[in-house]
A = this chain, B = another copy of it.
Amino acid sequence: MASPVSPLAPASYPTLPPVPGVRFASFAAGIRYKGRSDLMVAVCDPGTTVGGALTRSLTASAPVLSCRDHLKGGSGRVLVVNAGNANTFTGRQGVKDVADTCAAAAREFGCKPEEVFVSSTGTIGVRLPAEKILNALPQMKDSLSDQAWMDATRAIMTTDTFPKLATRTATIGGVPVTINGFCKGSGMIAPDMGTMLAYVFTDAKLSADAVQTMLTTGCDRSFNCMTVDSDTSTSDTLLMFATGKAAHDLIADAADPRVADFRAELDDLLIELAQLVAKDGEGATKFIEIKVTGAEHDQAAKRIALAIANSPLVKTAVAGEDANWGRIVMAVGKAGERADRDKLAISMGGVVITRDGEPVPDYDETPVTAHMKGQNIDITVDVGIANGKATVWTCDLTHGYIDINGSYRT
């Protein structure tokens, strides 16, 4: 859209190396936008396994329902993603449009319809002009490239102000493999998950079960720890495709010690992507990391951290560069998890503000105020109960969010 690039955008974007066994094409199908690509296709070689994490929304989109069904097969050959129309709340016609797209892609690229995965992102409740996708697929077949990561990423952007890509290398049994990922998302972002589409591709040779387990675990540590505005999308989708082109032995089980390095790199890549989404949160001017320790268990810590991250009062205080830690106390209190008011310890920017339930003696706000003027805000809270801990990421709540969302459709 017309928004300026987020001040939190990275200084440069990585150039992703090819992942053997996968090629991309993008296309200006005119689904909603003019003068830009809005359709992306990824085609994987036979033998590619797939796993996924999908929104838990009870009003999930037709593409999400289709992905959930197709994931049962564990085989992923084609990914079709459009921007500008979410194909959500579009009734039976929406379901048919996804089925037609799967059938057409299967014919065009030589696989079964249930090996095709479709995602749509954009406006809710407007019929998807599926014929534009069906007409585009044959033309896209001729332009498939193993280099076109940036084009693919740009084709799925909606209110995003910058493309989000990341790459890692790992070794499995001594064999180097590549993990590439890209995603989109900016608003309607909350666990689990946002209007967030994320795709990971690797040449590792992994069973579908292993892919699924790694992805579920990784998602819980990354995208499910990130929120922009607490609004859960109907379309959230994270898929990982493993082409199996690498020369190592098949990994059947995610617990296999030979994939420890791979899993660490995968988690790291997912965290980078998730943080990029928070950094492109609608109207964001500050990136906020919230660490909670001392909770009853990790899940409690996460709930407390998310209560802080989703508090409009905390987020507006950060936007105003105001070290208003009282709002953090409030957010801890509303989370509904155990916290010892008389042991609560809060730090911002590494400066201890409260300890044992009171401001520290002679608390000097000066260094905290200086920290608040930066782009990266660190909040740590110890709630004094047990050893549960969690880290979540979010952004501030600014006039830009109001501007973008008060006039999205118009």
User: Is the C-beta of A48 less than 8 angstroms from some C-beta in chain B?
Assistant: no
Which of A123, A313, A401: most chain B Cβ within 10 A? A313
Residues of B within 8 Å of A351, CB to CB, are: none
User: Is the C-beta of A75 less than 8 angstroms from some C-beta in chain B?
Assistant: no
A312 to B331, CA, bound (A): 17
A400 to B, closest residue via Cβ: B402
User: Is the C-beta of A405 less than 8 angstroms from some C-beta in chain B?
Assistant: yes
Residues of B within 8 Å of A232, CB to CB, are: 330, 333-334
A93 to B341, CA, bound (A): 14
Partner of A329, one of B125, B190, B325, B341: B125
CB neighbors of B among A310-336 (8 A): 310-313, 316-317, 319-320, 322, 324-327, 329-336
Nearest CB in chain B: distance from A352 CB, A: 14
Residues of B within 8 Å of A310, CB to CB, are: 230
Partner of A91, one of B124, B357, B406: B357
User: Is the C-beta of A207 less than 8 angstroms from some C-beta in chain B?
Assistant: no
Task: Check if A58 sits within 8 Å of B339, measured CB to CB.
Answer: yes
A388 to B313, CA, bound (A): 32
User: Is the C-beta of A37 less than 8 angstroms from some C-beta in chain B?
Assistant: no
A233 to B399, CA, bound (A): 24
A342 to B, closest residue via Cβ: B91
Copies in the complex: 2
- Please judge, given known A-B contacts A59-B329, A331-B231, A409-B322, whether A89 and B354 are in contact too, CB under 8 Å: yes
Residues of B within 8 Å of A332, CB to CB, are: 58-59
Task: Check if B334 sits within 8 Å of A231, measured CB to CB.
Answer: yes
Task: Check if A334 sits within 8 Å of B57, measured CB to CB.
Answer: yes
Which of A232, A316, A327, A333: most chain B Cβ within 10 A? A333
Which of A89, A230, A342: most chain B Cβ within 10 A? A89
For A381-410 the 0/1 string (1 means CB < 8 A from B) is 000000000000000011101100111111
User: Is the C-beta of A188 less than 8 angstroms from some C-beta in chain B?
Assistant: yes
Task: Check if B88 sits within 8 Å of A326, measured CB to CB.
Answer: yes
Task: Check if B234 sits within 8 Å of A322, measured CB to CB.
Answer: no
Which of A188, A334, A359: most chain B Cβ within 10 A? A334
Partner of A59, one of B59, B123, B341, B401: B341
Task: Check if A88 sits within 8 Å of B329, measured CB to CB.
Answer: yes
User: Is the C-beta of A52 less than 8 angstroms from some C-beta in chain B?
Assistant: no
A338 to B59, CA, bound (A): 10
Residues of B within 8 Å of A337, CB to CB, are: 58
User: Is the C-beta of A111 less than 8 angstroms from some C-beta in chain B?
Assistant: no
For A206-248 the 0/1 string (1 means CB < 8 A from B) is 0000000000000000000000011111100000000000000
Residues of B within 8 Å of A402, CB to CB, are: 316, 319, 397-399, 401-402
User: Is the C-beta of A358 less than 8 angstroms from some C-beta in chain B?
Assistant: yes
Nearest CB in chain B: distance from A73 CB, A: 24
Task: Check if A59 sits within 8 Å of B330, measured CB to CB.
Answer: yes
> Given A55-B333, A322-B408, list of 10 further CB < 8 A pairs?
A58-B337, A59-B333, A60-B333, A125-B326, A231-B334, A232-B333, A234-B329, A317-B406, A319-B402, A320-B406
